[in-house]
Every structure is written in structure tokens, then in C-alpha cells.
Amino acid sequence: MIRIQEIKNGNKDAFQKVYQDYNKRLYDFIYSKTGSDFYASEVVQMTFLKLWDRRQSLHSDIALSNQVYQIAKSVLIDVLRKTEKERLKRASLHRQANSKVNTGYERIEEREVQLMLEKALAAMPPVRKKVFSMKVQSQLSYKEISSILSISTKTVNKHMELAMQQIKPFFRSFFVFICILISY
């Protein structure tokens, strides 16, 4: 069993042992969340870089496995946010490039998406709806939301997970509808 203190002291052999012990499990964990070899590889690499860079802040009273997985989760969230921001930027540039040939479908589609989101939000319990709105519309962090609503960040995270599960069916039916329209 690797002691956290050895890693905090900069023992590279201890760190290498942690890498060997967690590399495959961490990859499998991230892959199960994303279904992407690229994301899994990137997140594992970034997790261990972050673990080494921040080894001084490791807590001796918290299991190392918990700390490694917590770092991996936060890295995954950061990677996914960055990817989504890049996707949105590309989509915006694409819309701007095609604005001269816009036939109005884009505005109709945006309105339909907005209506679907409003339906999904109306079906949510009040706290979940509030958490989702604060995160998505106000772009607050989980920590900020937990502070404002006086709930734990884990509770905020759970509300977001449940909100996303609740929203998916609304949008699935919308995309099926769009596919049917396109096929005619």
C-alpha cells in the first residue's frame, strides 16, 4: 500500500506504483462514462499530471483512490466543457458563414428547441429546475449554486444528473420528429 506521504515527499517510485495501480481502472472508468478512447486516454494522462503537480495538497486522511477519482472526474468535466465550448464556437461560425442562405429553418429549429427545453423544465421539481437554470442559464459553478441554495455540491451534482436524464427524452422525440420531416 502506497502511503500518501511518500508521494507528497516527491517519491517517484511511489507515484509510479500509483500510476500502475490506477491507470487501467481509471481508463475503464472514464471510458464507461464517455465511450471515447480519446477522452479516456486524455483524462487519465491529465489526471496523473495534475496528481503529481498537486501532490502537496493530497490529504492523508482521505483514501488515495478517492482523491485520484475525484481529480479524474474534475478533469473530465473540464475536458467536456472545453469540447462543448469549441463545438459551440464552430457551430456559431458555421451559422455566420451560412447566414446568407438561411431559409428560416434555423430560427424555427431554435424556437422548437427552446419550447422543448421549457416543457422539460416545467416537468422538473422546483429545486432541480432552479439548479439546472442556475447552472445552464446563469453559468454558475456547482460551488456557487450550493452556496446560494445552501445545499451540498454533491446535491447540486445529483440534481444536474437527474435534470439531464429528465431532459433527454424530450429532445430525443424532437430529433426523431426532425428526422421524419427531413425524410419527406
Tens-place pLDDT, residues 121-134? 888 899 998 998 88
Q: What's the pLDDT score for residue 90?
A: 80
Using the CB atoms, write b or e for 37-57: b if 16+ within 10 Å: eebbebbbebbbebbeeebee
Please answer whether residues 124 and 166 qualify as being in contact, where contact means their C-beta atoms are separated by less than 8 angstroms. yes
C-alpha cell at 110: 431554435
Q: How many other C-beta atoms are found inside a 10 Å radius of the C-beta of residue 101?
A: 6
Q: Which long-range contacts does 179-184 make (Cβ < 8 Å, 24+ apart)?
A: none
Q: Alpha carbon 80 to chain centroid distance?
A: 5
C-alpha cell at 70: 475525484
Rounded Cα–Cα distance for residues 167 and 145 (Å): 20
Taken in order 60, 62, 63, 68, the sign of the CA dihedral is negative
Q: What's the pLDDT score for residue 106?
A: 56
Rounded Cα–Cα distance for residues 33 and 7 (Å): 28
What crossing angle do the helices spanning 153-183 and 142-149 adopt, rounded to 10°? 120
Average pLDDT, the chain: 82
Rounded Cα–Cα distance for residues 14 and 6 (Å): 6
Mean pLDDT of 87-110: 65
Domains in the chain: ranges and CATH = 4-81 (1.10.1740.10), 103-183 (1.10.10.10)
Rounded Cα–Cα distance for residues 79 and 39 (Å): 8
For residue range 34-82, list pLDDT tens digits in order.
888 888 999 999 999 999 999 999 998 899 899 999 999 999 888 888 8
